[in-house]
Structure 1
Amino acid sequence: MALVGGAVRDGLLGIASNTSPDLDLAIEGADLQALATATGLPFTFHAAFGNATVTLPDNRTVDLIRTRRETYPVAGGNPVPEPGTLTEDLQRRDFGLNALALVLEPGGELHLLDVVGGLPDIQARVLRPLHSGSFHEDASRLVRAARLAARLDLAAHPDLLAQVPDALKMAEQTPRLWAELRLLLAEPRPGRAARMLETWGAGQLPPPASLPLLDALDAEKEQGVAVNFQTYAAALLHVAPNPADLAARLNLGEKPAALLARALSDTPYPDGSPERILRRLLRPDAYTPLTGRDVVALGVPAGQQIGAALAYLAGLRAAGQVQSAEDERAALRQYVRNLPPS
């Protein structure tokens, strides 16, 4: 049994364990469904690969991975797994620093297994694909590299940069690439990850016009503003040539598009809300329209007159005849003066 993947990588990089909350255990020749059952903990069994994900009492997860080798009958398609050794399992992985294993021997001893030269990559903090056809068989690895580089402050190995054209050529034939782009929006700094792609010559994978928006949202985060996944996704849709198609490819659901529509409307939303964050970014000249309370304070009688006054102001906004809340107040004062006596 061996601990593999992100937990080993991050431990060797000296990164706090809370950045890699999940653990991957690679096990040779075991019935992992039976092993997961024996823990007495909740788990999900993944029949296609013979793996099991066990949920720990603290809500972290442990992935029990059947060691395997993989082949790609069709580049960009799903790999075909076969049982394999731990060495073969490490050799099928994406980057050298992700292919290290901390092996637990039967006697309880631990040792680091490095069959692909991943330890020098850790020391140099570089992302190196394991073979020259890596991005051709799975172009999503390029986006995963950008995510890791941005989050962990890693550099691209020359071998990675040499494979960028292959990844771009295969992007449309690699459905997993869109899943990785969705994960990019959930990174701590999505804008930084997107800029990594641009630096490497792949800035067209997210809509290029989205990069300044993602940068701006990163800057909001750095100021302590709570910017969530839906806000980044809505910004991406705002500049997408075909928003519905992009939402479907990224499996975004309906929430980002609905958030974007609210942000572009004139409906008031409180400071710090996703709507206000996006509105400030997408409509820098926008202002908060007058509300029913404002209308009453300016002399509109209660009742149906309030709705009529708000509709009047909405019409002025749609016609571009008011540009600020003060313009609305001036228009409303004139509106009140023209009301028939009650």
Structure 2
Amino acid sequence: MNVSAIERALARHMSARDRSRMRRVAALAARRGRRLWLVGGPVRDLLLGRAVTDVDLAIDGAVQQVGRAVARELGGRLVWHPRFSTAVISFDVGRLDLVRTRTETYAAPARLPRVRPAGIARDLARRDFSINAMALEIRPRSCGELLDPFAGRADLDAGRLRVLHEASFADDPTRVFRAARFATRFGFRVEQRTHSWLLDSVSRGEPCRLSGERVAAELRHVLREGRPAATMGLLARWELGASWGAPATPGPRGVERLRHAARRMKAIRLGDRERVALLFACAFHDLPRETRLNIADRLRVMRVERRLLVSGPERVDEILARLSRADGHAGRAAICRAANPPFLRLAALLARSDDYTRIRPFLENDGT
């Protein structure tokens, strides 16, 4: 893909707002003698012809200074993460991530890496899969050539998911979860050697060395996917259950329950937190109650997730059925009032969703 084709693809698949912000970051970087690249997932999605909704940028220095300038000039809010030299700039609509090009080394499996500044070539070499190890240089008024040192574009064309080296899953076992998500999302097959290395990592128990919080975060990412049941089914086939505290993974009934719940919830307007909490419970409800308690303890899940997880599956089914029949906000409020204490009257599930502000008046005027 030549530069003009890349420019046309950006115009088609990235919003004008994000393109303008990206060019402004490039100008501020150039003013300080720095180079800027669009990296990882956005480049992958661009080449796949999918909407580019993330703005992940890498810069070869002056991260904090450029981040501050971007926030000041564009009216954003800067959050600085010094350990990884990362600046997150949030706007009323959208955000962009600005990271220092770097290399990473892992002292032990599942440990967070030590990072050191490096050039773009070594930065791409630290990434998870070849399809995410591509970069596109961004200049104030144009784009540069596509950097693809690991043949990521060829893997995209072949529908192939491939890690960059044998120790990839040992270095970062969360990549096992990402492999399942990407394989399901894009309909890709896991390359033969990659699949062998993945299973070796699981057999060595490396995903079990991840903290419960990190595993829980990965499972929430899975449940936010368009086909969470298919992704959980793939993790089950790879025998990931021990990583979340279960001697067994969800069986066919659990996967089917999750598929049914995800399909039903597409017709229900739910906030992200409540949707994920309900799907979390559905994913594991074919397992014994003691196993579900172990999962809740291992993952240190939020209180709402825990209560839904350890409750009986019929309770979750009841909530889903009632929500799907609810007539507007008053109907949903009635369900909240009627729900048993184990569900915190469902209000806790709505605490940060936009719908809660609409349902609250009905909750407050119920005469209790």
- TM-score normalized with structure 1 length: 0.71
What count of residue pairs does the alignment treat as equivalent? 272
Q: Does the CA contact (< 8 Å) of 1:104 and 1:111 recur in 2?
A: no
User: CA, structure 1 residues 270+65, in 2 after alignment: closer, same or farther (shift >3 Å)?
Assistant: closer
Instruction: Choose which of 235, 240, 262 in structure 2 pairs with 1:221.
Output: 262
Instruction: Choose which of 150, 156, 181 in structure 2 pairs with 1:116.
Output: 150
Verify: 1:101 aligned to 2:146, yes or no. no
Q: Does the CA contact (< 8 Å) of 2:261 and 2:320 recur in 1?
A: no
SS class of match (2:226): coil
Structure 1 residues 177-326: aligned runs within 5 Å = 177-200=215-238, 202=240, 207-222=248-263, 224-226=266-268, 228-238=275-285, 239=287, 241-260=290-309, 261=311, 264=314, 271-273=321-323
CA distance in structure 2 between the aligned counterparts of 1:3 and 1:136, rounded to whole angstroms: 27
SS class of match (1:52): strand
User: CA, structure 1 residues 107+128, in 2 after alignment: closer, same or farther (shift >3 Å)?
Assistant: same
Match of 1:172 in 2: 208
CA distance in structure 2 between the aligned counterparts of 1:232 and 1:266, rounded to whole angstroms: 9
Verify: 1:25 aligned to 2:57, yes or no. yes
Q: Does the CA contact (< 8 Å) of 1:28 and 1:67 recur in 2?
A: yes
Alignment root-mean-square deviation, CA: 3.0
AA at the equivalent of 1:196: L
AA at the equivalent of 1:192: A
Verify: 1:57 aligned to 2:127, yes or no. no
**Greater alpha carbon shift after TM alignment, 92-101 vs 190-199:** 190-199
Structure 1 residues 82-161: aligned runs within 5 Å = 82-105=116-139, 108-161=142-195
SS class of match (2:146): strand
AA at the equivalent of 1:273: L
For structure 2, list consecutive stretches of 5 or more residues without a partner in the other structure: 1-35, 327-337, 339-368
User: CA, structure 1 residues 5+89, in 2 after alignment: closer, same or farther (shift >3 Å)?
Assistant: same
User: CA, structure 1 residues 108+272, in 2 after alignment: closer, same or farther (shift >3 Å)?
Assistant: same
Verify: 1:12 aligned to 2:47, yes or no. yes
Verify: 1:35 aligned to 2:63, yes or no. no
Residue 183 of structure 1: how far off its partner (Å):
2.0
Q: Does the CA contact (< 8 Å) of 1:149 and 1:196 recur in 2?
A: no
Higher relative contact order by CA 8 Å / sep ≥ 6: 1 or 2? 2
Larger Rg over CA atoms: 1
More helix by share: 2
Residue 54 of structure 1: how far off its partner (Å):
0.8
Q: Does the CA contact (< 8 Å) of 1:23 and 1:61 recur in 2?
A: yes
Residue 35 of structure 1: how far off its partner (Å):
1.6
Residue 72 of structure 1: how far off its partner (Å):
0.5
For structure 1, list consecutive stretches of 5 or more residues without a partner in the other structure: 277-290, 292-342
User: CA, structure 1 residues 72+103, in 2 after alignment: closer, same or farther (shift >3 Å)?
Assistant: same
AA at the equivalent of 2:92: P
Match of 1:328 in 2: none
- TM-score normalized with structure 2 length: 0.66
